[in-house]
């Protein structure tokens, strides 16, 4: 599926009022696993990219170019639509325009922009958060909408303000500026009724991040689909990877020098991994194009 057809598919889903379910990926391998799962699309989590690429916290330490490179690599490996985390847009309204164009060109079908000051801090791990003025935040959304080359690219406006009334006001203003979807953070509202109120007030469907330890992760499917265009599990692949590696490395270190025993977390076989990574298809393609020396 091309980037253009992925964007068209996502836009059609939005128009029909259906919920698109994403799982987060921090690199190309995790994105490939999401692509081969039952999820509808891949979310490129900034929290995970910062950890995977730099081994650093999500404080906008990785650059636009690094983010775009990750999205580009993922787009070359997966078939399902990509929802990209664009953080604050990496600067002012001019930077936002460049960010949108770059991520769209890399293959994103949707992207989110948040109204924190730059450099941002991930609301899952930091408090309090500093947000832009409403005027500056609206300007960024307008710049993002005008910068996209494909009208099907979905612009998600995230507000990180903690006060529910302010969040509702901002959501309405972002919708007026052209945002297609509104994303609140979990600490702003405290129940499904609050999300319904936000959805009705701004006139746009929501994007929900379903993270372990937050109340939104306890919502049932019907509640989520009553308000959300996008429902995302952003950190499951990252945290699963970290847990499995820590557990197995500890066990392996304890038994080093001995015959390899079973490890606490199961592992993929080499045969299964080669299938996952496309080894046999690559060999076939190589054999198709490589020919031996012709006879004299």
Q: Say if residue 118's pLDDT is above 90.
A: no
Domain at 176, CATH number: 3.20.20.60
Are 202 and 285 members of one domain? Answer: no
Are 86 and 117 members of one domain? Answer: yes
Is 265 part of any domain? yes
Q: Say if residue 85's pLDDT is above 70.
A: yes
Q: Say if residue 126's pLDDT is above 80.
A: no
Are 7 and 104 members of one domain? Answer: yes
Are 200 and 283 members of one domain? Answer: no
CA distance 276 to 270: 10
Are 247 and 224 members of one domain? Answer: no
Q: Say if residue 122's pLDDT is above 80.
A: no
CA distance 10 to 41: 9
Question: How high is the mean pLDDT of the chain?
Answer: 94
CA distance 284 to 212: 42
Is residue 160 within 8 Å of 16, Cβ to Cβ? Answer: no
pLDDT of residue 181: 98
Helix (H) or strand (E) holding 276: helix 270-277
Are 260 and 153 members of one domain? Answer: no
DSSP symbols for 126-167: --S--B--HHHHHHHHHHHHHH-SSTTSEEEEEE--S-HHHH
Is 294 part of any domain? no
Is 184 part of any domain? yes
Is 296 part of any domain? no
- Domain tally for the chain? 2
Flag the least confident range among 173-182, 196-205, 252-261, 269-278. 252-261
257: left (phi over 0), alpha (psi -120 to 50) or beta: left
Query: Of the residues 205, 220, 235, which one is the last residue of a structural domain?
Result: 235
CA distance 274 to 280: 7
Are 251 and 124 members of one domain? Answer: no
Number of C-alpha atoms within 13 angstroms, CB side, residue 271? 0
Q: pLDDT class for 1, splitting at 50, 70, 90?
A: confident
Are 179 and 249 members of one domain? Answer: no
For the segment 69-85, the average pLDDT, to the nearest whole number, is: 98
Are 106 and 230 members of one domain? Answer: yes
Q: Say if residue 82's pLDDT is above 50.
A: yes
For 119, the domain range is 3-235
Q: How many CB atoms lie within 10 A of CB 56?
A: 11
Is 160 part of any domain? yes
pLDDT of residue 125: 62
Q: What is the pLDDT of residues 27-45, one digit of tens each?
A: 999 999 999 999 999 999 9
Q: Say if residue 55's pLDDT is above 80.
A: yes
Is 188 part of any domain? yes
pLDDT of residue 296: 47
Secondary structure (3-state) at 207: strand
Are 189 and 154 members of one domain? Answer: yes
Q: What is the pLDDT of residues 8-20, one digit of tens each?
A: 999 999 999 999 9
Percentage of the chain beyond pLDDT 90 is: 89
Are 230 and 253 members of one domain? Answer: no
pLDDT of residue 294: 57
Is residue 120 within 8 Å of 114, Cβ to Cβ? Answer: yes
CA distance 77 to 10: 18
CA distance 192 to 66: 36
Q: Say if residue 134's pLDDT is above 80.
A: yes
Q: What is the pLDDT of residues 236-285, one digit of tens each?
A: 999 999 999 999 999 999 988 887 778 899 999 999 999 999 999 999 99
Helix 93-106 / helix 134-147 crossing angle, nearest 10 deg: 40
Is 285 part of any domain? yes
For the segment 135-157, the average pLDDT, to the nearest whole number, is: 98
């Amino acid at each position: 599926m091309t980037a253009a057809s992925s964007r068209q598919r996502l836009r059609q889903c939005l128009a029909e009022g259906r919920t698109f379910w994403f799982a987060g990926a921090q690199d190309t391998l995790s994105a490939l696993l999401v692509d081969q799962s039952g999820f509808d699309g891949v979310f490129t989590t900034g929290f995970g990219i910062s950890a995977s690429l730099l081994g650093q916290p999500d404080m906008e330490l990785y650059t636009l170019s690094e983010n775009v490179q990750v999205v580009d690599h993922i787009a070359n490996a997966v078939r399902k639509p990509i929802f990209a985390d664009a953080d604050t847009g990496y600067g002012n309204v001019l930077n936002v325009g460049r960010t949108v164009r770059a991520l769209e060109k890399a293959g994103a079908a949707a992207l989110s922009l948040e109204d924190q000051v730059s450099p941002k801090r991930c609301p899952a791990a930091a408090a309090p958060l500093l947000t832009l003025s409403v005027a500056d935040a609206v300007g960024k959304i307008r710049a993002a909408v005008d910068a996209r080359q494909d009208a099907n690219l979905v612009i998600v406006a995230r507000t990180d303000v903690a006060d529910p009334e302010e969040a509702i006001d901002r959501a309405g203003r972002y919708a007026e500026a052209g945002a297609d979807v509104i994303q609140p953070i979990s600490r702003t509202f405290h129940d499904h009724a609050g999300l319904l109120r936000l959805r009705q007030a701004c006139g746009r469907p929501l994007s929900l991040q379903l993270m372990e330890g937050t109340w939104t992760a306890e919502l049932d499917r019907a509640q989520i689909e009553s308000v959300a265009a996008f429902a995302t599990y952003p950190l499951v692949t990252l945290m699963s990877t970290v847990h499995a590696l820590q557990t197995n490395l500890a066990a392996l270190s304890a038994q080093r020098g001995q015959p390899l025993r079973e490890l606490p977390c199961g592992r993929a076989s080499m045969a299964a991994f080669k299938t996952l990574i496309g080894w046999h298809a690559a060999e076939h393609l190589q054999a198709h194009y490589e020919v031996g020396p012709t006879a004299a």
